[in-house]
Amino acid sequence: MIAIDLNGTIKTFSKLPKVWSDANGTHLNITDGEAFGFYPVITPELSAIEELGSIYFDSEANVFTYAINTINITETLSELKKQRIMILKESYNNLLSKTDWYITRYNELSIPIPQDISNQRAQLREECNSHEMAINNLNTKIAVIEYYF
Amino acid sequence: MALTKVTAAVLEPTAVTDNISNGSISSDKIANDAISYAKLGSEFTTAATLSASDVDFSTAQVFTKTLTANDTLTFSNVSTGMVKDLVITGNFTLTLPASVKVVSGAYDGSVSNLIQIVATNGATEQWASISQEVV
């Protein structure tokens, strides 16, 4: 992406425009965008608690980039933990559901569950419990939001 | 005595010898469908190679140029209704006067481009369409 500053208003483009008009004329086949004021747009990487702010020109790096704003977290630490654990359990429930049919088959037809499947399911439950414990031990909102499993 | 033929003696001195450019001719003296391509001025019938950067609308119908660097063209003697053709090649940035509005197409530096200019308001506004050969 590229952008240009037009009298204080920054306009972005996916690529150099094929036709560009300014006070100096109507320009065709622009190859050197910087000669006309076009510079690359660099989008900064964001953490889970950040969002993009306004675009501005970084004159030192000669690029357009965005201010980074910290998201205002309104939930309490306890509420955040509850949300995160709910997502955690949904995620592991989805993983377990892939092999639920072994359990159903065993209950209905008494066909034994393969040992590797039983081990895999036990490991998933153990991992989930371990993550839940870790989340409950976190002390800051940021840590909870940025906790990945 | 009846005249059997017209002699110089009976003609008003300049009636025949003056050509049209020295006098005027009223429209009723020109038959419909009588003005042929051959009678048009060179500004409508000739192609000129642009060596400089000025496109003089009064000199040719077609202007050709091969860009060897970024170039800025200027227009002169533009009048409303004029239509001129620019055939431009070269993979460089071409700048037309700010009065030109591109209404269709885009310049392709890898091939020859036909840029047709229509003067919609004299030197104040021209519309341009850009096209290339279909391959």
Chain segment A118-147, per-residue pLDDT in tens: 999 999 999 999 999 999 999 999 899 989
Q: What is the ipTM of this complex?
A: 0.77
pLDDT of residue A49: 86
pLDDT of residue B14: 58
Average pLDDT on A40-46 reads 95
pLDDT of residue B60: 97
Average pLDDT on A16-41 reads 95
Q: Which residue of chain A is at minimal alpha-carbon distance from B111?
A: A29
pLDDT of residue B23: 61
Average pLDDT on A49-66 reads 95
If you search the block for the tokens 């001025």, which residue do you land on?
Answer: B41
What is the distance in angstroms between the Cα of B113 and the nearest Cα belonging to chain A? 11
Q: Which residue of chain B is at minimal alpha-carbon distance from A32?
A: B93
A132: enclosing H helix or E strand:
helix A115-136
Average pLDDT on A60-87 reads 95
pLDDT of residue B127: 98
Low-confidence ranges of chain B (pLDDT < 70): 1-23
pLDDT of residue A48: 83
| pLDDT higher than 60, residue A106 | yes
Distance linking the first and last C-alpha atoms of chain A: 33
Q: What does the domain layout of chain B look like in residue ranges?
A: 40-132
Say if the Cβ atoms of B98 and A32 lie within 8 Å.
Answer: no
pLDDT of residue B3: 54
Give chain A's mean pLDDT: 95
pLDDT of residue B6: 63
What is the distance in angstroms between the Cα of A28 and the nearest Cα belonging to chain B? 5
Whose CA is closest to B113, among B93, B121, B98, B125? B93
Dist. CA A53–CA A97, nearest whole Å:
41
Say if the Cβ atoms of A30 and B72 lie within 8 Å.
Answer: no
One-character DSSP codes across A35-91: GGT-EEEEPPP--TTEEEEEEEEETTTTEEEEEEEEPP--S-HHHHHHHHHHHHHHH
Catalogue the long-range contacts made by A92-101 (C-beta closer than 8 Å, 24 or more residues apart): A92/A124, A92/A125, A92/A127, A92/A128, A95/A124, A96/A121, A96/A124, A96/A125
pLDDT of residue A146: 87
Q: Where does the pLDDT of residue A65 fall: very low under 50, low under 70, confident under 90, or very high at 90 and above?
A: very high
Ranking A9-23, A25-39, B14-28 by mean pLDDT, the lowest is B14-28
What is the distance in angstroms between the Cα of A20 and the nearest Cα belonging to chain B? 9
The Cα-based distances of A99 to A93, A124, A131, B49 in angstroms read 10, 11, 21, 78
What does pTM read for this prediction?
Answer: 0.68
pLDDT of residue B113: 98
